[in-house]
C-alpha cells in the first residue's frame, strides 16, 4: 500500500492531534510526581508460628528475619528513617529473633549501635531497656550490648543513674572470666562522675580486696585511682 503525504490529512484532524499532544505534555508537566508511601513495621508473628515456619531451622530463620528487619528502612521508592519506625514492634521483632537463636549477638548489637543511635530520646530509652531485659537472660554473652547501652545513657542521654544501673548489672551478673575488667569496673567511674565518691571508694576497694583483679597493670591503675579518691575525700 502506498503511503500518502501528510498534506492529504485534513487540517482539522492535524489541529486536533496537535491540541491533544499539547494537552498531554502539559498534563505530565503539571501533575505532581508520584509519591511512594512507606509502610511501618508491623508486629511480628508469634514464636509458635515462627517455629513452625522455620522447618526445624530456627537459626537460619532468625538470620533471615534479621535481614528483613534491618532492610525495612529501605523500601521501593522510599526510605524510612530509623526514628520513624514503630519501636514497640521493632523490639518485638528483635526479641523473636533472639528466641529463635538465643546465641545470636547481632540483634542486640544492632539495637545498641543502630536503633539506639537516633535523635529521639524516647526511642533511645525504649531500645536501651530492651537491651537491659535481654541482657538478663544471658549476661555472660550479652554484656557487650549493655556496656554500649551504658555509654549511650551516659553520653547521649546524660542520664547517669540509668548508666549506673546498666553498669551495675554487668558487675553483678556478668561474672564469667571472659568478661573484661573494664566492663565490670564501669560502675566505679560512673559513681565518681556522679560525685558519689564514698560509694565509688567502697566499691573499688572491695574489688581490689576480693582478688578478682589479677592483671598487675590493672591493679596498679586501680590502686592509684583509689588513692586519688582518698585524696579528694579522706577515709573517715
The answer to whether residue 91 is domain-embedded is yes
Report whether 108 contacts 136 (CB < 8 A).
Answer: no
Q: Identify the pLDDT of residue 23.
A: 59
The answer to whether residue 149 is domain-embedded is yes
Q: Identify the pLDDT of residue 208.
A: 78
The answer to whether residue 218 is domain-embedded is no
> Exposed/middle/buried for 116, CB within 10 Å: 0-12, 13-18, 19+?
buried
Q: Identify the pLDDT of residue 206.
A: 82
Report whether 164 contacts 191 (CB < 8 A).
Answer: yes
Domain that holds residue 54: 43-160
* % residues pLDDT > 90 (the chain): 48
The answer to whether residue 55 is domain-embedded is yes
CA 32 to each of CA 7, 21, 26, 78: distance values in angstroms, whole numbers, following the listed order? 38, 19, 12, 16
- The torsion of the CA quartet 72, 78, 80, 85, rounded to 10 degrees, works out to -60
161-172 tens-digit pLDDT: 999 999 999 999
The answer to whether residue 7 is domain-embedded is no
Report the number of distinct structural domains present in the chain: 1
CA 183 to each of CA 122, 139, 147, 151, 227: distance values in angstroms, whole numbers, following the listed order? 26, 12, 7, 11, 21
Terminal CA-to-CA distance of the chain, rounded, Å?
114
Report whether 162 contacts 126 (CB < 8 A).
Answer: no
- Residues 119 and 122: their CA atoms lie apart, in Å, by 9
Which whole number is the average pLDDT over 177-182? 89
The answer to whether residue 64 is domain-embedded is yes
The answer to whether residue 80 is domain-embedded is yes
Report whether 91 contacts 51 (CB < 8 A).
Answer: no
Q: Identify the pLDDT of residue 92.
A: 96
- Residues 182 and 75: their CA atoms lie apart, in Å, by 41
Amino acid at each position: 500500500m502506498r503511503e500518502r503525504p501528510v498534506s492529504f490529512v485534513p487540517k482539522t484532524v492535524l489541529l486536533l492531534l496537535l491540541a491533544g499532544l499539547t494537552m498531554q505534555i502539559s498534563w505530565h508537566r503539571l501533575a505532581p510526581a508520584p509519591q511512594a508511601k512507606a509502610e511501618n513495621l508491623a508486629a511480628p508473628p508469634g514464636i509458635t508460628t515462627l517455629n513452625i515456619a522455620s522447618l526445624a531451622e530456627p537459626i537460619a530463620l532468625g538470620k533471615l528475619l534479621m535481614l528483613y528487619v534491618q532492610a525495612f528502612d529501605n523500601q521501593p521508592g522510599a526510605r524510612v528513617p530509623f526514628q520513624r519506625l514503630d519501636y514497640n514492634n521493632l523490639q518485638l521483632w528483635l526479641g523473636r529473633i533472639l528466641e529463635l537463636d538465643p546465641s545470636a549477638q547481632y540483634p542486640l548489637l544492632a539495637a545498641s549501635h543502630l536503633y539506639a543511635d537516633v535523635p529521639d530520646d524516647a526511642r533511645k530509652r525504649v531500645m536501651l531497656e530492651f537491651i537491659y531485659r535481654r541482657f538478663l537472660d544471658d549476661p555472660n554473652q550479652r554484656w557487650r550490648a549493655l556496656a554500649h547501652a551504658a555509654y549511650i545513657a551516659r553520653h547521649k542521654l546524660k542520664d547517669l543513674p540509668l548508666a549506673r544501673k546498666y553498669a551495675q548489672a554487668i558487675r553483678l551478673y556478668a561474672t564469667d572470666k571472659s568478661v573484661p575488667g573494664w566492663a565490670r569496673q564501669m560502675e566505679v567511674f560512673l559513681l565518681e562522675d556522679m560525685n558519689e565518691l564514698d560509694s565509688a571508694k567502697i566499691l573499688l576497694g572491695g574489688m581490689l580486696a576480693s582478688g578478682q583483679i589479677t592483671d598487675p597493670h590493672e591493679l596498679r591503675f586501680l590502686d592509684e585511682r583509689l588513692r586519688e579518691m582518698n585524696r579528694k575525700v579522706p577515709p573517715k
